[in-house]
């Protein structure tokens, strides 16, 4: 095991797959010589050379279009969109071409590609560079959607995404890039569609994603220490496919569910999870399903306003206490 930052785990995961499979190529804006704007891809150009690690023009349509064509011809491209907000620029290619062509050609064209992007708030980049957009991708049939919270999951889930036969949207929460954790030195692959139970509990289940996971863990510790409330914490990790089995099992035991979402409240992933829980195990619930979210607003850039908008451990504690009490 080595202790890596979240950003170093990105390059470790890409390098692992590029060493394993020479059909894996990597392209994006400033990802080669500069090592990425968040320094998450340093060293890859030196090891794999300009034929496999390619800087592109500042054009999201060009990046995604080139990745689509490469996948259709037998390569396994990894494409980087610098900020997930910029998916709005190339969404036609993602939603109408990449997501649908395998189905529309009856499998004659496949798309084993990964589109990585820095996602979410917490870094004071303002409304056009801080959106949490995984729910955009979740709404499109044909796309798989992954959002890791730890360096080990970055490496393992990125490897699984590269090996997957379908297009995967891989969201890296930018405020986590500096966080550290132990990462296996050898080949590491985590299965897509499998949630991780981080903490067991009997009173309430808290389901969280990406940067909201460590906040949910802090909230669970506060609930146990200060109020005697036992909270299970689940890192959802993968939205498509979604591990409903693990989530339903734990909600069935605790009788209560709180989702913690960085998305704006309207149509967030927790709303879908709440719908599934209510449909599948309604009679096991001991109270309403509660969603802790960002308000339905553009995210502010001012420190105090951004902090107030994003879910905090204190807001999670308050929501759980109101539910359990």
* Count of Cβ atoms closer than 10 Å to residue 296 Cβ: 11
Within its chain, how far is the Cα of 249 from the centroid? 22
- The DSSP code sequence of 80-98 is EEEEGGGGGTSHHIIIIII
Token digits for 311? 């879910």
What is the number of alpha carbons within 13 Å of residue 112 lying toward its C-beta? 15
Active site residues: 129
Rounded to whole angstroms, how far apart are CA atoms 167 and 146?
Answer: 11
Angle, alpha carbons 44-196-224 (nearest 5°): 125
H or E, element range at 160: helix 151-163
Token digits for 219? 């909230």
């Amino acid at each position: 095991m080595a202790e890596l930052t979240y950003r170093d785990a990105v390059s470790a995961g890409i390098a692992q797959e590029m060493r394993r499979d020479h059909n894996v190529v990597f392209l994006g804006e400033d990802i080669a010589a500069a090592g990425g704007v968040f320094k998450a891809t340093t060293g890859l150009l030196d090891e794999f050379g300009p034929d496999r690690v390619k800087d592109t023009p500042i054009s999201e349509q060009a990046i995604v279009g080139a990745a689509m064509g490469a996948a259709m011809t037998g390569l396994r491209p990894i494409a980087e969109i610098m900020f997930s907000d910029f998916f709005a620029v190339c969404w036609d290619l993602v939603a109408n071409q990449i997501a649908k062509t395998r189905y529309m050609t009856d499998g004659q064209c496949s798309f084993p590609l990964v589109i990585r992007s820095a996602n979410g708030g917490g870094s004071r980049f303002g409304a056009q560079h801080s959106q949490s957009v995984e729910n955009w991708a979740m709404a499109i049939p044909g796309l798989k959607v992954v959002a890791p919270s730890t360096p080990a999951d970055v490496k393992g889930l990125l490897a699984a995404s590269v090996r997957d036969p379908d297009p995967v949207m891989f969201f890296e929460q930018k405020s986590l890039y500096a966080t550290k954790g132990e990462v296996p030195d050898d080949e590491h692959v985590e299965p897509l569609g499998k949630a991780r139970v981080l903490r067991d509990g009997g009173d309430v289940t808290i389901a969280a994603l990406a940067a909201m996971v460590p906040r949910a863990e802090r909230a669970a510790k506060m609930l146990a220490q200060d109020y005697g409330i036992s909270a299970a914490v689940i890192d959802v990790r993968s939205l498509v496919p979604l591990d409903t089995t693990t989530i339903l099992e734990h909600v069935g035991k605790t009788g209560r569910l709180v989702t913690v979402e960085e998305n704006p409240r309207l149509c967030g992933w927790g709303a879908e999870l709440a719908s599934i829980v209510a449909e599948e195990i309604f009679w096991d619930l001991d109270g309403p399903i509660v969603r802790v979210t960002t308000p339905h607003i553009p995210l502010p850039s001012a420190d105090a306003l951004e902090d107030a908008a994003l879910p905090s451990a204190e807001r999670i504690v308050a929501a759980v206490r109101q539910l359990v009490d």
